[in-house]
């Protein structure tokens, strides 16, 4: 069955969405290489395989909308407009990074772009998202906050507390759960009380929907509907995107808890290849255009790596700056 492209998306937007998905994948592939090269400070949690969620969700947002992210946050930051040069510099601990080299992979933020921060705490962005949505509501603004969190955060108390308050106060927040099947090494269906987490939204009194997290257009539709509802004063929604991470929880994960056949089955549903084929099949892009995009992105990522490697280390005198107590 032919995949319908939402009428609201122009050819330019569709091309940009594919380009961002390619950027996320190549960024995280290069990050893994840099870690093994021994030049990265700290660990990294690759988003490879999950690109459709971040790009589909952020494509449905307005520039003044905001997001909160997770420890696996490179995809969210790039999809919301983060600068790959500053992100790469942060990974390498350089003074030109988003956090002046002090935060690393799990603490990237860009407030001007509406990126309220990645977060090393499981579910740590949920309360921040509800707070940001409350601030927008009190200020009379129409911006919406999208809260990305993983299946590992489904049973965190902060989700239940924030979801309840968001429902009572009709906060303009969209809770987007990325169910990538595993919380570290634990299968999501082994630690979650219901097979479909969207039903929990009923208990909070707001809509809960599931979508194919390997289909960028399905994610776009779900988030666009939820964001429009929130912007109109209808309150929060829960969206569960069913997806998969191709690599381990972090760069050093031995992956001894799942077999190759499972990974191969998910790779056959690769979100980037599916979107490429859709755009080519619908005449939006030619195969040569896709190759050109891949080349452009490769150049951009290598430029980011060169920028990061050439950037200065933080000065010792800056050690105690930006420390709050």
pLDDT of residue 1: 52
In which residue ranges of the chain is pLDDT below 50?
Answer: none
pLDDT of residue 252: 87
pLDDT of residue 2: 57
Q: What is the pLDDT of residues 73-82, one digit of tens each?
A: 999 999 999 9
pLDDT of residue 41: 83
SS (H, E, C) the chain: CCCCCCCCCCHHHHHHHHHHHHHHHHHHHHHHHHHHHCCCCCCCCCCCCCHHHHHHHHHCCCCCCEEECCCCCHHHHHHCCCCHHHHHHHHCCCCCCCCCCCCCHHHCCEHHHCECCCCCCCCHHHHHHHHHHHHHHHHCCCCCEEEEEEHHHCCCHHHHHHHHHHHHHCCCEEEEEEECCEECCEEHHHHCCCCCHHHHHHHHCCCEEEEECCCHHHHHHHHHHHHHHHHCCCCCEEEEEECCCCCCCCCCCCCCCCCHHHHHHHHCCCHHHHHHHHHHHCCCCCHHHHHHHHHHHHHHHHHHHHHHHHCCCCCHHHCCCCCCC
């Amino acid at each position: 069955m032919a995949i319908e492209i939402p009428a609201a998306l122009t050819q330019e937007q569709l091309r940009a969405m594919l380009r961002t998905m390619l950027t996320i994948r190549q960024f995280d592939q290069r990050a893994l290489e840099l870690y093994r090269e021994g030049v990265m400070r700290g660990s990294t949690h690759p988003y490879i395989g999950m690109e459709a969620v971040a790009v589909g969700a952020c494509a449905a947002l307005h520039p003044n909308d905001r997001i909160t992210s997770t420890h696996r946050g490179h995809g969210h930051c790039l999809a919301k407009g983060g600068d790959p040069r500053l992100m790469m510099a942060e990974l390498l601990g350089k003074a030109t990074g988003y956090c002046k080299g002090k935060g690393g992979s799990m603490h990237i933020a860009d407030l001007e772009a509406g990126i309220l921060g990645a977060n090393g705490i499981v579910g740590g962005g949920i309360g921040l998202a509800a707070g940001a949505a409350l601030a927008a509501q009190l200020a009379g603004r129409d911006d919406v906050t999208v809260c990305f969190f993983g299946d590992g955060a489904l049973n965190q108390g902060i989700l239940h507390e924030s979801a309840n308050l968001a429902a009572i106060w009709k906060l303009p927040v969209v809770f987007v759960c990325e169910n990538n099947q595993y919380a570290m090494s634990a299968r999501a269906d082994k630690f979650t009380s219901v097979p479909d987490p969207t039903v929990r939204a009923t208990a909070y009194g707001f809509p809960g929907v599931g979508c194919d997290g390997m289909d960028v257009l399905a994610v776009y539709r779900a988030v666009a509907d939820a964001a429009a509802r929130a912007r109109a004063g209808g309150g929060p929604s829960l969206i569960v995107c069913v997806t998969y991470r191709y690599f381990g929880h972090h760069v050093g994960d031995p992956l001894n808890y799942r077999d190759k056949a499972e990974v191969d089955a998910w790779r056959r549903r690769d979100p980037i290849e599916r979107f490429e084929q859709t755009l080519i099949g619908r005449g939006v892009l030619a195969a040569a255009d896709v190759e050109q995009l891949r080349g452009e992105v490769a150049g951009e990522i290598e430029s980011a790596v060169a920028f990061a490697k050439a950037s200065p280390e933080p000065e010792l005198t800056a050690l105690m700056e930006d420390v709050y107590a």
